[in-house]
A = this chain, B = another copy of it.
């Protein structure tokens, strides 16, 4: 189980997703965004921008709570340069997560960069940390989820603020509460 920071806080996380192909196959990027939100990231920057995907994620946050949002950016390098915090690039070639984790936990703000199959070589140099969640080919969705889990554990899924719906955990079956909250009519 992840060890929380001594002050009980976890770094605030922004995810930057590279290599998205709008219109062609949004499912993988949707999974990256949903995992980012479920594991407590504040927002995801997406290049190239995809307003339809951003709207779908807004609808999820509206229904299930929290303030997660997707913002389009034109150039990944601008997003990295502007970010005032530590930049973590997830790559199977990087240093092991176990070794990097104590340094990551000390940062109040992290930008976690996940690519697709190919990422620009420049990203390795621009990142403060190139981190491998296992030195094996796998999935940026998996790598992101495990990093966020190790950074601070799962947020209590039932307590996203302002949710219209809330799951009541069950050993068998489904139970969803309507909270009566949500946008004014």
Residues of B within 8 Å of A92, CB to CB, are 157, 167
Interface residues on A, range: 35 or more
Most central of A31, A96, A97, A169 by chain B CB within 10 Å: A169
A136 touches B149 (CB 8 A): no
Measured CA separation A60–B136 after assembly (Å): 10
Chain A residues with CB under 8 Å of chain B are: 1-3, 25, 27-28, 31-32, 34-35, 37-39, 60, 64, 91-98, 124-125, 129-130, 132-139, 141-146, 149-150, 154-155, 157-158, 160, 166-167, 169-176
Residues of B within 8 Å of A34, CB to CB, are 136-139, 142
Measured CA separation A120–B6 after assembly (Å): 43
B1 touches A139 (CB 8 A): no
Q: Which single residue of chain B is at the shortest CB-CB distance from A116?
A: B27
Measured CA separation A166–B38 after assembly (Å): 33
- In the assembled complex, the CB of A46 is this many whole angstroms from the nearest CB of chain B, namely 16
Which of B95, B146, B169, B173 meets A170, CB within 8 Å? B95
In the A-B complex, list the 4 residue pairs whose CB atoms are closest, starting with the nearest. Answer: A135-B157, A142-B145, A38-B138, A31-B139
